[in-house]
Structure 1
Amino acid sequence: MKKIYAIGLAAAVLMGSNLAVADKVEDAIEYRQGVFKTIKWNFGPMVGMVKGKIDFDAADFSRRADLVAVLAKMPGEGFIEGSDMGDTDAKSEIWENKAEFDKGMDALAENAAALAVAAQSGDMSVIKPAFGQLGKTCKGCHDDFREKE
């Protein structure tokens, strides 16, 4: 009887730890997707302002650029081991070439910070080049590391 109890207890512990890992992976995926959605939420109106489809509001643009600069530092930590499976558009290349991916995440943060600084000028001729560089960084990572929708 003790042996059956011990086996059952061991199985429960192992199942619990596997569920904890699964929860951690799902949480990591949800975390990074949430950060990217929030970046997109703020980036969209900036695109409209840069393209002249939305009236340029220097204060709103700067506020959004500041938020993106903070957010851009965050998603990298959500790409944990095992989070290449499940409800994600992340390509396996992220984990196969993690150093290159991490460089892209660093470039995202750096270029977002540069945009935030440029946005403080309130001058679209200063903002556009920084905005374009950030857009190229986003596109490059999407092209290399994200499944096409």
Structure 2
Amino acid sequence: MTAVKAIMEGTDPRCHTSSCRDGRCTLSMENAPKPMALINLEHEAASVDPDAPRSDFLFVGGRTPDAEWVSPIELTAGSARVSKFLPQLRAGAEIASKLIPRHIQVRFRPVAAYGGELRRSERDNFLKKANYVTFRNNTTQVKLIRCGSPLSKALSD
């Protein structure tokens, strides 16, 4: 079983989407790893406590099992703030961890897209190890990209 299949089977089809948009912030899915699953965790059918933090989307995609990506995605048309992004991205990582069986190997990258400004001090906060996101005992730095960018840019090494 692949991570994409696990996500598709483990989530309500009403949460499946092909566009990554929240308000005025969008990420392009052009050139995103395929096959893919994009789950809208904000949808009312998402099996998430409505009062609990969660990322806007969960992306899973890639052709081969060892090259599949898992990405919680948080979008804002405003400024990038660690205090806003971090709880949601960590919750998205936790949701992904529960949906994808541990024996399935994946690559992990939390993605934060912003439309406003990114102050140097805030960028430096994202670089602090304390502000990384953990998935399966591995900590990963949040990848910051601008609204309107392709998701593939965030997933490139």
TM-score (norm 1): 0.26
Pick the structure with greater CA Rg.
1
TM-score (norm 2): 0.25
> As a proportion of its length, which structure holds more helix?
1
> As a proportion of its length, which structure holds more strand?
2
